[in-house]
Amino acid sequence: MQKLRTLFCTVLVGVALSGCGTLPDARPFADATGALAASVRSSGQALTDSIIETGAAVPEEEQSAYTQLAAKFQKTWAVRVQAAQGAVDYANAIADLMKAGKQGGETVKTVGDSLSGLASAVNIPLAGAAFDAAEDLARFIVDRIAIVRASQSLEDALAKAQPAVDRMAEHLASESEQRLKPTLDSAYKNLRSSINNRYGPDAGFAQQVEARRDQLRTEAMKDNAKVAQLQEFDRLRATLAVSLNERDQALDKAAAAYRTRLQLINALTAATRSWAAAHRDLASAVREKRNVNATELQDTVLELKDLIKKVRAL
Amino acid sequence: MNFDDLASIDWTACENTAQWARLLNDLLALGAQADSTDRRDRLADGLDAFANKSNSVDMDIIKKLDAAAGKAARALRLQNMEDNVSQLAADTPAFQAAVKDVNAVSAGLKKEASLLRAETFSAAVQTLTGTITSLNALGQAVNAADDAKIVAAAAQAVQSVQKLRALLEKPA
């Protein structure tokens, strides 16, 4: 009979623990939120750097406008950075609730250990097999209840947050496309304009020298006296080439920085859309899994009755 | 000259400094009509193109014309940049309202997580002690080999679990 009892408890626990419902994986949303926060910060910094760089390159009388603009932009963008931190807090709160929902089993184990310890301390015998089975069954039940509660709370929270998440995503995506990118583009063009202006006299002179040199070459073919003059022009041309090479390097550097910053801002648009989509996916996953636990407990109860009959028939 | 002409300026048509000066004058005159972002962008590009294309043996004059063109181009784009940043600032309250909503949900979630932890602990204590009692009774019934007692003990265990579940799922 002892064997039968042990077998009964084992089968009972097996039935009790089968088909446990779970909360969905919040990791994709947490990752998308992290990417969004990083993207908001880096995009803002990229545009600030671009404005400051352009400000340093323009003639002195134009510089203060860029300093003021960079400061105003930083102050305005700081609100978005704070918002992104709010999104991270929100993702953490979701993770915390899910963790609380998944801790039911651990709590039962802790309570079970304490109860067992207390029973031993006060010399109350607890039947070993029954106690083990009770602990497993309790873990199953408490797990279910905690998951159902977490799932319901989460569904409500996600539904409440969805309009705000959509509004934030819409704002960020629109600001990225309609404000950040054109501003970055203008800053880059003004930087190019300043570089070209700075080297403009050399470039213009080089054009004149080139035209005169071509003319001298033709003349030198007919008149040797022109050869020395041609050599002077060649030296002048070489000196101008150094300056124009500097200009080209400055333009290349500006273009490379522009491309990198543009990629960051494009990434913000993508990160924003991914974040909103991950939120919708999470909400949908929570909705779909919510009903699992509510009915399974009753099914288990019915199976329990059938099982008793089978155990009895052994 | 009008804004539609900007894309089709023939930069090779100017043959002397006076012609370049007239062209710049025409371009700068469009500034008064540059009343939109798009117009300012197009005019700024035209002025920068002027600075890059203009050329003459009158180096000092051309240098001044180029500097004026560049300065005007940058001022037009700076205005667009300032407008964009001002627009971002103007959109901030709407943005903050959305953030406030998300923060409120976060606060609710944190509170719910604390509550859930407390309730889980309470449920663990009640369920564990209840099921130990029930299963001990069930084990005795199995030992007694009495169908009626087994079913009654099982029903008792099931009832206590259902009661607990109903209690915990009740809205706060």
Which tens digits make up the pLDDT trace of B116-155? 787 777 766 666 666 666 656 665 666 666 667 666 766 6
CA dihedral A287, A288, A290, A291 (to 10 degrees): 130
A62/B74 Cβ within 8 A: yes
pLDDT band at B40 (very low <50, low <70, confident <90, very high): very high
- Helix ranges, B54-145 (H): 59-144
Chain B interface includes A236 (CB < 8 A): no
Lowest mean pLDDT among A233-237, A298-302, B31-35, B144-148: A298-302
Do residues B77 and B44 touch, judged by C-beta distance below 8 A?
yes
Is A203 contained in some domain?
A: no
Neighbours of A78 (CB within 10 A): 12
Return the pLDDT at A59: 94
Is A41 contained in some domain?
A: yes
Is A228 contained in some domain?
A: no
Return the pLDDT at B41: 96
CA distance A93 to A88: 9
Query: Nearest-5° angle of CA B75, CA B81, CA B87?
Result: 135
* Distant-in-sequence, close-in-space partners of A129: CB < 8 Å, separation ≥ 6: A5, A6, A9, B139
Rounded to an integer, the average pLDDT of B91-107 is 86
Instruction: Please check the confidence at residue A13 and state whether its pLDDT lies above 50.
Output: no
Residue type, B3: F
Do residues A68 and B88 touch, judged by C-beta distance below 8 A?
no
| A99 interaction partners in chain B (CB closer than 8 Å) | 113
| Per-residue pLDDT reduced to its tens digit, A117-141 | 544 544 444 555 556 666 666 666 6
Instruction: Please check the confidence at residue B161 and state whether its pLDDT lies above 60.
Output: no
The position carrying tokens 């009626």 is B148
| B85 interaction partners in chain A (CB closer than 8 Å) | 69, 72-73, 76, 179, 183
What is the span of the domain harbouring residue A37? 2-16+24-198+267-312
Predicted interface score ipTM higher than 0.85 = no
CA distances from A126 to A9, A16, B8, B106, B155 (A): 15, 21, 96, 43, 22
A86/B106 Cβ within 8 A: yes
Q: Which residue has the higher pLDDT, B132 or B39?
A: B39
| Per-residue pLDDT reduced to its tens digit, A274-307 | 888 888 888 888 887 644 343 444 454 455 445 4
Look at chain A and report how many structural domains it folds into: 1
* Closest CB to B108 among A69, A99, A157: A157
Instruction: Please check the confidence at residue A197 and state whether its pLDDT lies above 90.
Output: yes
pTM over 0.95: no
- Nearest CA to B74 out of A194, A274, A282 is that of A194
